[in-house]
Amino acid sequence: MNDFALLGLLIIAIGIGFFLGLRAAKKNLAGAAFAPGKSYFQGLNYLLNEQPDKAVEEFVSALDVNTDTLETHLALGKLMRKQGQVDRAIRIHQNLLARPVLELKDQHQVHLELARDFMTAGLLDRAEVLLQEVIGESTDLRSIAQRSLLDIYQDESEWQDAINVAQALLQSRFMKANVEHKRNLQRMVAHFYCELAEDCMHSENLIGARQYLDRAVAADKTVYRVALLSAANDNAQGRHKQVIKVLSRLELQDPAWFWMCLPALQEAYERQDAERGFEIFSRHLRSHIENHDAPRVAMYLVDQFIARSEDEPIRVQQASEILSVFVAQYESLLASNKLVELQINDASKHVESDVCRLHSQVSELLNQRNRYRCGDCGFSGRQLHWRCPSCKTWESMRSIENQSTA
Does 390 contact Zn ion by CB under 5 A? yes
What is the smallest separation between the CB atom of 374 and Zn ion, expressed in angstroms?
Answer: 3
Q: Is 84 or 375 the residue whose CB approaches Zn ion more closely?
A: 375
Q: Is 180 or 204 the residue whose CB approaches Zn ion more closely?
A: 180
DSSP symbol at 374: E
Taking the C-alpha atoms of residue 272 and residue 239, their distance in angstroms, rounded to an integer, is 9
Q: Is 239 or 398 the residue whose CB approaches Zn ion more closely?
A: 398
Interface of this chain with Zn ion, residues 205 to 244, rule: CB under 5 A: none
284 CB-near residues (< 8 Å, 6+ apart) = 248, 265, 269
Choose the binding region for Zn ion from 133-141, 307-315, 328-336, 387-395 (rule: CB under 5 A): 387-395
349 CB-near residues (< 8 Å, 6+ apart) = none
What is the smallest separation between the CB atom of 154 and Zn ion, expressed in angstroms?
Answer: 14
Kindly list the distances between the CA atom of residue 223 and the CA atoms of 187, 268, 367, 386, in Å, as whole numbers in the listed order.
Answer: 7, 21, 29, 11
What is the smallest separation between the CB atom of 357 and Zn ion, expressed in angstroms?
Answer: 37
Choose the binding region for Zn ion from 61-69, 189-197, 225-233, 390-398 (rule: CB under 5 A): 390-398
What is the smallest separation between the CB atom of 337 and Zn ion, expressed in angstroms?
Answer: 29
What is the smallest separation between the CB atom of 162 and Zn ion, expressed in angstroms?
Answer: 19
Please provide the size of the chain in residues: 406
Sign of CA dihedral 105, 107, 111, 114: positive
Q: Is 238 or 375 the residue whose CB approaches Zn ion more closely?
A: 375
What is the smallest separation between the CB atom of 392 and Zn ion, expressed in angstroms?
Answer: 7
Q: What angle do CA 249, 255, 257 make, to 5 degrees?
A: 100
What is the smallest separation between the CB atom of 341 and Zn ion, expressed in angstroms?
Answer: 34
Q: Is 230 or 396 the residue whose CB approaches Zn ion more closely?
A: 396
3-class DSSP state for residue 405? coil
Taking the C-alpha atoms of residue 288 and residue 188, their distance in angstroms, rounded to an integer, is 31
Does 394 contact Zn ion by CB under 5 A? no
Binding mask 343-382 for Zn ion (x = CB under 5 A): -------------------------------x-xx-x---
Choose the binding region for Zn ion from 32-40, 83-91, 251-259, 384-392 (rule: CB under 5 A): 384-392
Q: Is 59 or 257 the residue whose CB approaches Zn ion more closely?
A: 257
Dihedrals φ, ψ of 222, to 5°?
-90, -5
Q: Is 132 or 380 the residue whose CB approaches Zn ion more closely?
A: 380
Kindly list the distances between the CA atom of residue 121 and the CA atoms of 150, 153, 387, in Å, as whole numbers in the listed order.
Answer: 17, 16, 22
Q: Is 7 or 391 the residue whose CB approaches Zn ion more closely?
A: 391
Q: Which of 7, 344, 391, 400 binds Zn ion (CB under 5 A)?
A: 391
Burial class (CB in 10 A: 0-12, 13-18, 19+), 172: middle
What is the smallest separation between the CB atom of 385 and Zn ion, expressed in angstroms?
Answer: 9
Taking the C-alpha atoms of residue 108 and residue 136, their distance in angstroms, rounded to an integer, is 10
Q: Is 181 or 308 the residue whose CB approaches Zn ion more closely?
A: 181
Taking the C-alpha atoms of residue 390 and residue 385, their distance in angstroms, rounded to an integer, is 10
What is the smallest separation between the CB atom of 149 and Zn ion, expressed in angstroms?
Answer: 21
Does 188 contact Zn ion by CB under 5 A? no
Taking the C-alpha atoms of residue 161 and residue 107, their distance in angstroms, rounded to an integer, is 26
Does 25 contact Zn ion by CB under 5 A? no
133 CB-near residues (< 8 Å, 6+ apart) = 111
Are 86 and 80 in contact by the 8 Å Cβ rule? The answer is yes
Q: Is 137 or 376 the residue whose CB approaches Zn ion more closely?
A: 376
What is the smallest separation between the CB atom of 71 and Zn ion, expressed in angstroms?
Answer: 32
Are 227 and 204 in contact by the 8 Å Cβ rule? The answer is no
DSSP symbol at 369: S
- Number of residues engaging Zn ion in binding (CB under 5 A): 7
Taking the C-alpha atoms of residue 22 and residue 43, their distance in angstroms, rounded to an integer, is 18
What is the smallest separation between the CB atom of 394 and Zn ion, expressed in angstroms?
Answer: 10
342: enclosing H helix or E strand: helix 333-343
Q: Which of 115, 233, 388, 399 binds Zn ion (CB under 5 A)?
A: 388
Chain contacts with Zn ion (rule: CB under 5 A): 374, 376-377, 379, 388, 390-391
